[in-house]
Amino acid sequence: MDPIRIAVVGVGKIARDQHLPAIAGNKAFSLAATVSPHDAGVEGVSHHKSLDELIENGPAVDAVALCTPPQVRYDLAVQALNKGMHVFLEKPPGATLSECVALSSRAEKVGTTLFAAWHSRFAAGVAPARAWLAERRIESVKIVWREDVRVWHPGQAWIWEPGGLGVFDPGINALSILTHILPRPVFLKTATLEIPANRAAPIAADIQFRDTAGAPIHMDLDWRQTGPQSWDIVVETDAGTLKLSNGGAVLTLPTGAEHSEDLEYPGLYARFANLIRGGRSDVDIAPLRLVADAFLRGNRQTVDAFHD
């Protein structure tokens, strides 16, 4: 079977650190091209300044991985879908819920694969955590997702703009795990968003969710963490405590801890290849829906200006 010829659109840190190595390590794909107006691309691989240029003058491409900021992703995705390309959407899959719904409808109409890729769901501890929780009564959940924005997003102005999500850019990773491992749906009760005086998106958030059985879920997000970073989910159940730490890589059950190799992006591309081969799409917007609810219902508090 011939490999899927894929182009990476948006060659920034996430593309170089995760997407390109994952594509290189998966025989189902071959890197046909890169697209970026700012980056020189990969040596020996066809490079283009825009998707228009790739379509007009570049090599044949079966699929694209969109690694651009979410605010510009919709038009690129529609353009690719209309050309019969399969589309991999980095998280979050769009700047709005309506964009995601429209893209899903377009992919179904043209008969191509659309994949909303939640990489944290492929962290080593997530699948076994989901299986263990399926047979337990959930009593409460606590999420602490605290990191230093200067380390993880230096100089990235887009992330502070409308649609950039602010602290929910990493926080949505926790929500992608939460909505995947809990056996019941989750919805928002209250939220407080702390927004710097010179920015449009929050730098911190304190959120109360609950599931449909009434279990309380507390989420603590903060981009001002220095020193050790915190990416932890603790679930109290009738059979003891489950903890996912290090972004889901480490699972601790009452019987002990398990730590496996990080295979998030290789797992994503294996999933994408399977979807393409099976003629299916996977566009789960539950994590983004919870973020939208926080912006819809959250109480906004202005805090000190933030400067890189």
Helices 126-133/168-181 angle, 10° precision? 40
Using a 10 angstrom Cβ sphere, with 0-12 exposed, 13-18 middle and 19 or more buried, the burial of residue 39 is middle
Those residues whose C-beta lies under 8 Å from the C-beta of residue 220, and which sit 6 or more positions away, are 142, 143, 144, 145, 146, 206
Q: Do 61 and 5 meet the contact criterion of CB atoms below 8 Å apart?
A: yes
Is 91 one of the annotated active-site residues of the chain?
yes
Handedness of CA 148, 167, 286, 95 (dihedral sign): negative
Of 91, 109, 189, 243, catalytic = 91
Those residues whose C-beta lies under 8 Å from the C-beta of residue 285, and which sit 6 or more positions away, are 93, 97, 100, 101, 116
Q: Do 109 and 183 meet the contact criterion of CB atoms below 8 Å apart?
A: no
Using a 10 angstrom Cβ sphere, with 0-12 exposed, 13-18 middle and 19 or more buried, the burial of residue 111 is exposed
Q: Do 221 and 194 meet the contact criterion of CB atoms below 8 Å apart?
A: no
DSSP H/E element including 188: strand 186-196
Using a 10 angstrom Cβ sphere, with 0-12 exposed, 13-18 middle and 19 or more buried, the burial of residue 238 is exposed
Catalytic residues, by residue number, are 91
